[in-house]
Amino acid sequence: MKSIVHNLPGFEDLIEKARTISGAVEKIRVSPVFGDGSDRKFFRIFCGSSSLVGLISPRVGKDSTDENDSYLLIGNHLHSKGLPVPRILYAEVREGRFLLEDAGDLHLENFVNSRRTNLKSIYSHVITMLGALHRKAPQGFEPGFCFDTALYDPSFVYDRELEYFRESFVNGCLGLDIAADELRPDFEALAEAAGVHKSSFVLHRDFQSRNIMVCRARLWLIDFQGMRFGPPAYDLASLLIDPYVRVPEGLQAGLVSMYWSSAGKYLGGSKGDFIRKFEAVRLARNLQMLGAFGFLGVTKKKKQFLHYIPFAFEQLARHLPKFGRMQFPRLAKLVSAIRRRGLSNPRGNLVT
């Protein structure tokens, strides 16, 4: 029986390319790879005893840098630095067709949650991989690689993370009616604290357990097309507050220290400065995450993402008071009000 991927534009051409690359003479089998929040289509191509991954990603930007361009440019760049990303074996960026090295189907999330795994041990390896990414990736990384702005600056933080939280989670998911001006002073202050006006470092921007694969006894990093210049602490925060693997608070603190003990040598500055930036980007990421779950769960109707909102919201409620009452008073008041009313929409349905 043919699956939905067989009807994708360019599918047959991609299969023939896979046959050529693999040298397969026997019949090729195809199996869909079900994605997460993305609309891109992945599928595994079995060529005899080997396999490749096919990707079909319709182009959006016809006359400007598109996500497909970034995927190719950044993927090749990271591979050239010896970083553990799937090799891009074939790319037709104008048509959005790719063949990739197969990094398996075991996400770090599933590896951790389905086994009696020593969390500290496996996450120490993840921290090592993250440190290597932050050390090696900036070498030769170009602004032109980035399709979606090249810098994690305050305006990006404000528009794409903090306002995303207000529009897609507070209003869109919970059904409240909070105007932009009600949170503007707090959001402007947080955007300034989290963002940077220039940076020689890069961040992945979605460094979490569903974008880390475990295959052939090593870790692999995927979904790197959103990389840009910015504070490396953002990726560390993304990993530690990841709702898919609930890293205990005590272990989170230990992993922050582990990261700093190696990365501090090339990041520069003091550990105190690093921790302050980490706490700011952790709060921004937490808000972005809630916005994303609201958008995916309500607007895109991918209801499975609503399940992660309660944990993400409790993390927000736990971390926000660490800034003190007066730093973000409007946001604190809103979070307190939501806790009192509960995580429900106007129809009384829980978002879980």
> What is the SS3 assignment for 90?
strand
Which amino acid type is present at position 147?
F
Q: How confident is the model at residue 64 (pLDDT cuts 50, 70, 90)?
A: confident
Tens of pLDDT, residues 42-55: 999 999 889 999 99
Tell me what percent of the residues of the chain surpass a pLDDT of 90.
Answer: 83
Q: What is the pLDDT of residue 26?
A: 77
Of 316, 323, 322, the residue nearest 338 (C-alpha): 316
Q: Who has greater pLDDT, 8 or 149?
A: 149
Architecture, CATH, for domain 4-101: 2-Layer Sandwich (3.30)
Domain 108-341 has CATH 3.20.20.150: no
Task: Dump strand ranges (E) for 61-157.
Answer: 88-92, 97-101
Task: Identify which has the larger pLDDT, 173 or 346.
Answer: 173
**Residue 340's pLDDT band (cuts 50, 70, 90):** very high
231 closest CA partner among 272, 282, 289, 161: 282
Q: pLDDT of 254-273, one tens digit each?
A: 999 999 999 999 999 999 99
Q: Examine the pLDDT at 220 and tell me if it is beyond 50.
A: yes
342 has a pLDDT exceeding 70: yes
Worst-scoring range by mean pLDDT, 131-140, 170-179, 298-307, 343-352? 343-352
Distance CA 176, CA 166 (A): 9
Decide if pLDDT at 125 tops 60: yes
CA distance 101 to 55: 11
Of 21, 18, 46, 22, residue with least CA distance to 32: 46
User: Distance (Å, rounded) from C-alpha 80 to C-alpha 265?
Assistant: 23
CA 56, CA 99: separation in Å to the nearest integer? 9
Q: To the nearest whole number, what is the mean pLDDT of the chain?
A: 93
pLDDT of residue 1: 41
Determine how many CB atoms are found less than 10 A away from the CB of residue 48: 13
Minimal CA–CA distance to 228: which of 140, 130, 152, 133? 152
Convert the pLDDT of each residue in 158-203 to its tens digit: 999 999 999 999 999 999 999 999 999 999 999 999 999 999 999 9
* Residue linked to tokens 């603190």: 253
Model-wide pTM > 0.85: yes
pLDDT score, position 63? 78
**pLDDT score for 346:** 55
* CB proximity list for 70: less than 8 A, separation 6 or greater: 145, 146, 147, 148, 225, 226, 227
Residues 322-338 pLDDT 10s: 998 789 999 999 999 99
Q: Is the pLDDT of residue 39 over 90?
A: no
The burial class, CB within 10 Å (0-12 / 13-18 / 19+), for 69 is buried
The b-or-e profile of 258-289 (16+ CB within 10 A means b, else e) is: bbbebbeeebeeeeeebeebbbbbbbbbbbbb
Rounded Cα–Cα distance for residues 233 and 259 (Å): 9
CA angle 120, 122, 125 (to 5 degrees): 105
Q: Residue 246 has what pLDDT? A: 94
Question: Residues spanned by CATH 3.30.200.20 within the chain?
Answer: 4-101
Q: How confident is the model at residue 350 (pLDDT cuts 50, 70, 90)?
A: low
pLDDT score for 48: 83
Q: Where in the chain is the domain with CATH 3.90.1200.10?
A: 108-341
CA-derived radius of gyration, the chain: 21
- What is the model's pLDDT at position 348? 46
Q: Are 84 and 129 in contact (CB under 8 A)?
A: yes
